[in-house]
Amino acid sequence: GAGVSQSPRYKVAKRGQDVALRCDPISGHVSLFWYQQALGQGPEFLTYFQNEAQLDKSGLPSDRFFAERPEGSVSTLKIQRTQQEDSAVYLCASSLTSGDYNEQFFGPGTRLTVL
Amino acid sequence: TQLLEQSPQFLSIQEGENLTVYCNSSSVFSSLQWYRQEPGEGPVLLVTVVTGGEVKKLKRLTFQFGDARKDSSLHITAAQPGDTGLYLCAGRPFSGGYNKLIFGAGTRLAVHP
């Protein structure tokens, strides 16, 4: 079966450009997470969806970051007016339910480089 | 802020050696997970430990959750080049009601033939 997929795998943006990163979770998975992984660091939580509802966006670094999951499946992370400090790998993960100890399955990530 | 500190940051060893990686926090977690991440890929779950003092073995890997549920260790016996990678610990806070994870910065392991 297909795992979590993300596109594009690599994105280069000029400072000030808007970008959109896509995540296709495993079919039927209720929970979807976005993480940001800076070079040499572990992933940091950005936001969480349960179906189409965004239940936690406490990790979004600024109001330039926006995420949506309108139909409870595919999710898009949008970054407006990109800055150099936004350069990182953006990981998406999904899990079957929202219950405790549910395994999160990670996608390969999108590496964003802002010049 | 709940933080997980991993040590060492980097580890370079010869094939056949044993090693231990540590994950420490001042906070208590309801569970702790260990992941391995290869370049260009997302983290892959190795194990979840839930109970204080719990020990789990996965072939040559032994995972332990501290009695106070604030720390964990990963021990690899007779390391092989295939063990090379980034090892991440991740804790699940008690609050939240869902599986939000707090990650450590990782230990980058290189095993040389």
Determine whether the interchain pair A99/B105 forms a contact, defined as Cβ–Cβ distance below 8 Å: no
Q: pLDDT value at position A97?
A: 82
Q: HSE of B9 in the Cβ direction (CA atoms, 13 Å)?
A: 4
For the stretch A64-93, pLDDT in tens is 999 999 999 999 999 999 999 999 999 999
Q: Do B92 and A4 touch (CB under 8 A)?
A: no
pLDDT digits (tens, 9 = 90+) for B51-101: 999 999 999 999 999 999 999 999 999 999 999 999 999 998 876 656 789
- Asked whether residue A1 carries a pLDDT value surpassing 60, the answer given is no
Decide if B100 touches A, using CB distance below 8 A. Answer: yes
For residues B28-54, give the mean pLDDT: 93
pLDDT of residue A42 exceeding 80: yes
Instruction: Give the SS3 label for residue A85.
Output: helix
Residue A2's SS3 state is: coil
Q: How does the average pLDDT of chain A come out, rounded?
A: 94
B97 in A contact zone (CB under 8 Å) = yes
In sequence order, what DSSP letters do the residues of B26-86 get, joined into one string? SS--SEEEEEEE-TTS--EEEEEE-STT-EEEETTEEEEE-TTSSEEEEEESS--GGG-EE
- What's the pLDDT at A109? 97
* Phi/psi-derived region of residue A71, left when phi > 0, alpha when psi is between -120 and 50, beta in every other case: alpha
Whether the per-residue pLDDT at A27 is higher than 80: the answer is: yes
A26 closest CA partner among A6, A7, A46, A47: A6
Closest chain B residue to the Cα of A109, Cα to Cα: B42
**pLDDT at res. A103:** 87
Segment A93-100 shows an average pLDDT of 83
**Cβ atoms of A91 and B41 closer than 8 Å:** no
State what percent of residues in chain A have pLDDT above 70: 97
Query: Which contiguous run of DSSP H or E holds residue A75?
Result: strand A75-79
Give pLDDT, residue A53. Answer: 95
**How would residue A102 be classed by pLDDT, with cut points 50, 70 and 90?**
confident
So what's the pLDDT on residue B100?
A: 81
How close A104 gets to chain B, by Cα (Å)? 8
Chain B contact set for A104 (CB, 8 A): 45, 99, 101
Distances (CA, A) of A20 to A41, A69, A74: 23, 13, 13
Query: C-alpha angle B63/B18/B80, rounded to 5°?
Result: 95
